[in-house]
Amino acid sequence: MTQTPPAADAPIQHGAGQPLPWEPVLMTAVGRKGGRFLPDYLLRGGYQGLAKAVQEMDPVSVIKEISDSKLLGRGGAGFPTGVKWGGTKRNPGPRHLVVNADESEPGTYGNRYAIDADPHGLIEGMLVCCFAVGIQQAYIYIRGENLYGAEVLEHAIKEAYAAGYIGRNILGKEGFDVDISVTRGAGAYVCGEETALMESLEGRRAQPRIRPPFPIEVGGGLFGRPTVVNNVETLMCVPHILVRGAAWFASIGAPACPGPKLYTISGHVNRPGVYELPMGTTLYDLIYKYAGGMKRNQTVKAVSPGALACQLLPGTDLNVQMDTATLTRPPHWHPPFGPVGFGAGGIIVYGEETDIVQVVARAAGFFARESCGKCVPCREGTHWMQDVLSRIAHGHGRPRDLGILEDVTRNIGGRKTLCALGDFSVNSVASALRLFRPEFEAYCNGHARSNAAGSGVPLAAG
């Protein structure tokens, strides 16, 4: 990992040396000395979106601008941000903003990177939201493992308080008061689900709530108050929309869900990493143009387009556009399990040497350990899937096991649980069974790939 520091005036490039099709919008801090500190953020045009909102616009026009930009939430659900803000504002205060920085989906790491590089971008987005919706207390909930990110944020918040961007009468606007604090989780994947996250923030076990009432409503949000829950990346888009205009934002990438996107790509690619590209970049371009192609020149066997909670895409489907709209519509819709899903744009690429049964067994183990235990189908079913898959992966599978697996997946998925963890826990398993059934059958008939059976040892190293 040694590298020569580049010349200061070198052109901005990404990854395998491929020039980006554009100038990055969100990742302007990368490679700048002290890029994550307030002075550099101001040099890069920081807090101008907030200034424009406060000095030239009113809350209603800010929400309209965000709605016009067609910004969809980047956390996975793809809910229109403007609608969420407007809905929260219609309900009586006090209201809260919660930033979901619990990013725990295996294969997803854009938020960690964005926070490390540009914490003030997030804080400015939060402040714009607080101004537009009328919020005085905002909380950032960050996963416990990411201590470094929490420290970066704490430091940035201190800087912003000292400079008057957080606190009382912000930017001289009478009555525009906001407090921001950081709360650390302590290792629970389910906290990425917004109602579980709020339970955790309130000091409880992170178990999802029954909806309705929804978080934007009285009784449904944090401390029972109307609450906006936004993803880190969503809020980081906001200042740029205000500065450059909704029309500019809406013109980037896929028309149905426009904007810049932090794609994170990992697995069997030569250059795993974070790539900021327009929404709707094709999977082929992501793998071969930016991520440097496949390790050991293998072909692509399958891809998890939105990390582990999404269905697998076959390696023959590389021309698919990677965006929320494409991956949630036919032909990327497989009854009874629903859309393939885009998640938060965490792409895991499996090469032909991957033993998909081992991967899926691991996925099942993950969801079984992370199930919060509130809803029966998920609490019981994920462990059942894990038991069966573990047996298969260790070479003791029986022919009838595949039928059991199909039955269990159908009985967890399909809106039978309060949150998406249960629904999505079956996605990898069910799609792998659909796409690679002969491999499972081989395991169950005593013909497991010899270097994997029994040992739990993966096929690929290095």
Partner 1 sequence: MSLSQAARARIVNEFIPRYPSKRAALMPSLWLAQEEAGWLGPAVFEEVGELLDLHATDVASVASFYVMFHRRKIGDRLIEVCENPSCFLNGSDQTYARICDRLGLDSGHGGHGMQTTSDGKVSVRATECLAACDYAPVVQVDLRFYGPVHEADVDAFLANMEAFSIQGKASVSMANGPQAVPVDGWEAHAPPAPGSAA
Integer Cα distance of 32 and 27 in angstroms: 10
**Smallest gap from residue 263 Cβ to partner 1 (A):** 10
* Residue closer to partner 1, measured from CB, 5 or 331: 5
* Residue closer to partner 1, measured from CB, 94 or 446: 94
Cβ atoms of 97 and 234 within 8 Å: the answer is no
* Residue closer to partner 1, measured from CB, 116 or 439: 116
* Residue closer to partner 1, measured from CB, 186 or 210: 186
**Smallest gap from residue 58 Cβ to partner 1 (A):** 27
Dihedral Cα 237, 240, 241, 247, nearest 10 deg: -120
**Smallest gap from residue 447 Cβ to partner 1 (A):** 22
* Residue closer to partner 1, measured from CB, 342 or 350: 350
- Please list the residues that pair with 178 across neighbouring strands: 167
* Residue closer to partner 1, measured from CB, 46 or 107: 107
Instruction: Dig out the tokens for 248 from the structure.
Output: 């500019």
* Residue closer to partner 1, measured from CB, 147 or 247: 147
| Largest CA-CA distance found in the chain, in angstroms, rounded | 74
Q: Long-range contacts made by residues 164-168, C-beta under 8 angstroms, separation at least 24?
A: 165/47, 165/50, 165/123, 165/124, 165/127, 166/123, 166/127
Instruction: Dig out the tokens for 362 from the structure.
Output: 């691991």
Integer Cα distance of 308 and 229 in angstroms: 22
* Residue closer to partner 1, measured from CB, 126 or 188: 188
Q: Long-range contacts made by residues 407-416, C-beta under 8 angstroms, separation at least 24?
A: 408/381, 408/384, 409/337, 409/385, 409/433, 410/336, 411/377, 411/381, 412/377, 412/378, 412/381, 412/382, 412/385, 413/336, 413/337, 413/338, 414/336, 414/337, 414/338, 416/375, 416/377
Dihedral Cα 84, 48, 167, 160, nearest 10 deg: 110
Instruction: Dig out the tokens for 262 from the structure.
Output: 């932090």
**Smallest gap from residue 176 Cβ to partner 1 (A):** 20
Integer Cα distance of 202 and 461 in angstroms: 42
**Smallest gap from residue 78 Cβ to partner 1 (A):** 20
Instruction: Dig out the tokens for 401 from the structure.
Output: 């096991």
* Residue closer to partner 1, measured from CB, 58 or 151: 151
Q: List alpha helices for 222-262, DSSP H.
A: 232-244, 246-250
Closest CA relative to residue 97, chosen from 65, 133, 48, 143:
133
**Smallest gap from residue 138 Cβ to partner 1 (A):** 11
* Residue closer to partner 1, measured from CB, 20 or 256: 20
Integer Cα distance of 259 and 73 in angstroms: 11
**Smallest gap from residue 25 Cβ to partner 1 (A):** 15
Cβ atoms of 117 and 104 within 8 Å: the answer is no
> Cβ contacts of residue 106 below 8 Å, gap of 6+?
307, 308, 346, 348, 363, 366
**Smallest gap from residue 107 Cβ to partner 1 (A):** 5
**Smallest gap from residue 53 Cβ to partner 1 (A):** 26
My answer on whether omega of the bond before 255 falls inside 30° of 0, hence cis, is no
**Smallest gap from residue 236 Cβ to partner 1 (A):** 16
Q: What are the Cα distances from residue 49, in Å, to 40, 236, 332?
A: 16, 11, 37
**Smallest gap from residue 46 Cβ to partner 1 (A):** 15
